[in-house]
Structure 1
Amino acid sequence: MQHKEIARELLPLIGGAENVISISHCTTRLRFNVRDETKIDIAAVEKMESVQGTFFRYGLFQIIFGAGVVNKIYKEMAHYSVPGPIGQEIQPESQSNINLLTKFAKTLSDIFVPIIPVIVASGLLMGLIGVLKEFSLGAYDGPVMKLLDIFSSAAFIILPVLLGFSAAKQFGANPFLGAVIGGILTHPDLLDPSMLGSQKPSSVDILGFQVPLIGYQGTVIPILLSVYIMSKLERILKRIVPRSLDLLVIPFITVMTAGFAALFIMGPLSLLIGHLVSGCLGFVYQYAGPAAGFLFGGLYSLLVFSGLHHSFYVIEASLLADPQYGVNFLLPIWSMANVAQGGAGLAVCLKTKNANLKKISIPASFTAFLGIVEPIMFGVNLKLLRPFIGASIGGALGGAYVVFMHVAANSYGLSGIPMISIILPLGTANLIHYLIGFAIAAISAFIATLCLGFKDEKE
């Protein structure tokens, strides 16, 4: 079906334009914020040829169309459905009942998802550099290699700036002021934390306290806390400052106050929190070993189902920024869980007699191998349940192996086959063990799903 026809057919099935509050999309899903969920004809939506699955999350009705398609359908839907009147605040009841943990995960997701393409691009560039160095395809100190190194590291250096902009939008503050706070945390006059082993930072005396001038390049927690405080301060100032003076007074007080708080309170506090989290995970990783990989790999798909998995971006970024670790040992485990969903989907494709399910499961399974797991997970495995259990078994076995062999990555945001680019720079052995774990996860999930069986859907 053409994208315009899909949009035209879909609109009445979700209750018409008058039922739509807002529309958004991610890599694979079209998301509707609606006034009345009972007006949605879910069965009819799922029967549409291009739809790979539907579900509710965060009070939003979400339809899986797949990567490369959903953005085109979104553009067409924007023409046919006009959100409610400007300024009309309508919150669906289901969204207001979300618990605090889920709200926290959703906020982190909304902050990180817009910048993931930047992180992915940097990770792929790091992989390219790793390949060139591994096979001696370019001069180590040559001009091309130096430029590629600049290109690949830029996003991580200015990560607080990117997060400051994105976080400020989510917290309802001025995003450009959020970016400025990120710029303060990464200012060139502050010592890069990666240099702490060889250089001693200078310090300033503030009210009798010696505060070291350390930068926060590549970190996450300092900017998130700082921008949150900034958003609260800006909101208070908007209430008390006369509108005629807000352009002058609010940015000045906000930047000055939030800047001091970022460097002298939030930054040091965040480093302590980050080291504590990294230390706890490192302890579990070191002493629980394969058992931890088995547990995390088996349960990760449940976290994807709940939406809590996006909160791990903060932890993964903290591991990369921590000088004690400097690598991401969690992402290979998550990747095994995603790959296992694809293996289970192929088993469904082999065993099902439902032509439509077979048609969906083939491309959705290979999409999971490329790191996009929602189509096969929500569209096939979770609906049939037992393939989802089979995938959890595969993820657990693959996760145990990659932890046992100490497989790690030098970035985050990628999984499956594309993750090879951020695995290879850490050595050929690292890549070989990752590929073995990949095979273990996919094959064991395939076999487990065939053994468990499932109740086939009727046409």
Structure 2
Amino acid sequence: MNLKKQAQQIIEQVGGKENIQAATHCVTRLRLSLHDESKVNQEELEKLEAVKGSFSTNGQFQVVIGQGTVDKVYKEMVELGVGEASKDDVKQASSEKMNPLQKAIKTLADIFIPILPAIVTAGLLMGIHNILAQEDIFYDGQSLIAVHPQWADLAGIINLIANTAFAFLPGLIGWSAVKKFGGNPLLGIVLGLILVHPELLNAWDYGNAVKEGRVPTWNLFGLEVEKIGYQGQVLPVLLASYVLAKIEVFLRNRIPDSVQLLVVGPVALLVTGFLTFIAIGPLMFGLGNTITDGLVWVFDQFSAIGGLLYGALYPLLVVTGMHHTFLAVDVQLIGSTGSTFLWPILALSNISQGSAAFGVWLATKNENLKGLSVSSGVSAWLGITEPALFGVNLRYKFPFIAALVSSAIAGMYITIQSVRANSIGVGGVPGIVSIQNSGWISFIIGMVIVIVIPFVVTYVMAKRKKI
């Protein structure tokens, strides 16, 4: 295709060069910050040969082009007079148009997405360890390492590597959060590690320690401060990181450069540390446990409704970008209860979107759509649903609805069956390794639901509509 002509037509259909505030691209999409999105002619835009779909999210208008082609189209747009910008420039321009809720969601996403590879890797490795160490997988009433003890040390090393990201999770969150809030990320790491220091009472032992009356304390001039850690907790380190970053920035702007190294870091860390152990930690620890207990109670008392609603709502959360907030919820659930009942529904929802895209792939005679559908379907089955969602399913609507309905049905079923995940893994077909082995059969039945229903419904509808 004529890439220069395609670039010119894209510019025209998004309202012209004067409507483009900033433009960049990722692996598959143009990312545009527009002055006025109402000027976009989305219907004509998506008729262009180079365009596989388009959508607006978090203040950005994104145009799906495809890997390999998007950077060429972007270069043509720059030559046509569109100003070249970085991803940070576009994010900054887009954030100015967000409401407070969108900004809060984006903040959480910006904190958790950078540490997601570590969490997912840990989840997959924990899944491998569980296969080796859990009973009734290979042998009745026994684990693989019990029958073959020569595998025990290998399983132990895998478990050590896998548990590290979760054991020191506040360190990862502290690094990412302080960086996001404008502070020194190294101080964020130190703050996070302070909250899981070995001298502190482990958070997982806190309940028993309270019952037995053996919670250690510091005596700060008559003020009793509990000497506990915050392993597996999200909220304490998030708020503490915000406080640390703001104190650091405040001091950095007022302390002479010559003595900043001696003053800024020590003062910021000391003040934040005292505030965290005295107030921030206990308050956020209580709030986090209240939220966790509330979710557990709802899903225990109304499991069918909870699973149905979350299965139906999750694709909509992805569309709005709000799904990132639930990563923090999953992490909090795992830290507090040792497992999560939300993440298995997420994994099935992702599979359903991929299955709907595969239905389009088999039914359509459009070669461009075939290529987009099969590649985005594979991506969704491996946990990345945006290409399938925005490039195929939402574009034709009925594939998205078929996937949403199947996700709701499967979510209701696996929640009734008490399917839980020990960790967060790849949110698609490989996610089964993160599921507790007692729920494997139910999870596989859920997978059958989200593979068959959206695929068949989408295929039949696509044939009828002749897309």
TM-score category (smaller protein)? 0.7 to 0.9
Q: Secondary structure at the match of 1:218?
A: coil
Taking the aligned partners of 1:347 and 1:131, their CA distance within structure 2 comes to 33
1:215 aligned partner, one-letter code: G
Residue identity (%): 36
Q: 1:265 to 1:433 in 2, by over 3 A?
A: same
- Contact 2:30–2:74 (CA<8 Å) still a contact in 1? no
**Matched position secondary structure for 1:186:** coil
Partner residue, 2:206 = 196
User: SS at 2:231's partner residue?
Assistant: coil
Note if 1:220 corresponds to 2:234. yes
Which is worse superposed, 145-154 or 355-364? 355-364
Q: Which residue of 1 aligns with 2:443?
A: 434
CA 1:13 to 1:65, structure 2 compared with 1: closer, same or farther past 3 Å?
closer
Q: How does 1:167-246 map to 2 (within 5 A)?
A: 167-196=177-206, 200-246=214-260
CA contact (8 A) 1:23 1:78 kept: no
CA contact (8 A) 1:390 1:452 kept: no
* Cα distance change on mapping 1:231 and 1:369 into 2, 3 Å: same
SS in 1 for 2:98: coil
Give 1:364's aligned residue.
Answer: 376
Between the aligned partners of 2:332 and 2:412, the Cα distance in structure 1 is: 22
Aligned to 2:421: 409
Q: State the Cα deviation string for residues 145-194 of structure 1 (Å, max 9, x = none).
A: 22111100011111111111111121111111111111111111112212
| 1:51-62 alignment, distance < 5 Å | 52-62=52-62
Q: CA deviation digits over 1:44-93, x for unaligned, max 9? A: 687455x6433222222334467xx58x97799799978569x999954x
Q: Helix, strand or coil for the counterpart of 2:103? A: helix
What TM-score does the superposition give when structure 1 sets the normalisation length? 0.84
TM-score (norm 2): 0.83
Alignment partners' CA distance in 2, 1:79 and 1:296? 43
Q: Say if 1:88 and 1:121 are closer, same or farther in 2 by CA, change over 3 A.
A: closer
Query: SS at 1:142's partner residue?
Result: helix
Q: How does 1:83-122 map to 2 (within 5 A)?
A: 83=84, 92=93, 95-122=95-122
Partner Cα distance (2:281, 2:75) in 1? 41
2:244 is aligned with what amino acid? M
1:277 aligns with 2:291: yes
When structure 1 is superposed on structure 2, of 94-103 and 294-303 the one drifting more is 94-103
Task: Name the counterpart of 1:328.
Answer: 340
- The answer to whether structure 1 residue 143 and structure 2 residue 153 are counterparts is yes
1:349 deviates by 2.7
Q: Is the 8 A contact 1:384 1:455 kept in 2?
A: no
Q: Distance between the aligned counterparts of 1:233 and 1:376, measured in 2?
A: 43
Deviation at 1:355, TM superposition (A): 3.0
| Alignment pair present for 1:388 and 2:400 | yes
- Can you list the C-alpha shifts for 1:121-164, whole angstroms capped at 9, x where unaligned? 11111111122234416538833222111100011111111111
Spell out the pairing of 1:268-347 with structure 2 (5 A cutoff): 268-322=282-336, 325-347=337-359
Unaligned runs of 5+ in 2: 139-143
Q: Is the 8 A contact 2:310 2:408 kept in 1?
A: yes
Farther-moved stretch of structure 1 (203-212 vs 113-122): 203-212
Partner of 1:56, secondary structure, is: strand
Amino acid at match of 1:382: L
C-alpha change, 1:132 and 1:171, in structure 2 (3 Å) is same
Residue aligned with 2:218, SS: strand
Q: Residues 11 and 237 of structure 1: is their aligned pair in 2 closer, same or farther, counting only changes over 3 Å?
A: farther
Q: Are 1:297 and 1:398, in contact at CA under 8 Å, matched by a contact in 2? A: yes
Q: Which amino acid aligns with 2:180?
A: Q
Q: How many residues align?
A: 443
Residue identity matched to 1:345 = A
* Distance in 1 between residues matched to 2:236 and 2:457, nearest whole Å: 43
CA contact (8 A) 2:121 2:425 kept: no
- Residue 141 of structure 2: aligned partner: none
Once residues 380 and 89 of structure 2 are traced to their aligned partners in structure 1, the CA distance between those partners, rounded to angstroms, is: 39
Relative to structure 1, is the Cα distance of residues 353 and 24 closer, same or farther in structure 2, using a 3 angstrom cutoff?
Answer: closer
CA distance in 2, matches of 1:106, 1:89: 14
Bigger Cα displacement from structure 2, 366-375 vs 76-85: 76-85
Offset, 1:114:
0.9
Shift of 1:334: 1.6
- Is the alpha carbon distance of 1:140 and 1:115 closer, same or farther for their aligned partners in structure 2, counting shifts above 3 Å? farther
**Contact 1:65–1:375 (Cα < 8 Å) also in 2:** no
Query: Unpaired segments of 5 or more residues in structure 1?
Result: none
Determine the structure 2 residue equivalent to 1:267: 281
Give the 3 Å change call, closer, same or farther, for CA 147–48 of structure 1 in structure 2. farther
Secondary structure of 1:62's aligned partner:
strand
SS class of match (2:418): coil
The whole-number CA distance in structure 1 between the counterparts of 2:5 and 2:122 is 38
- CA–CA distance in structure 2, aligned partners of residues 404 and 89 of structure 1: 44
2:179 corresponds to 1:165: no
The more displaced of 151-160 and 202-211 is 202-211
Letter in 2 for 1:357: L
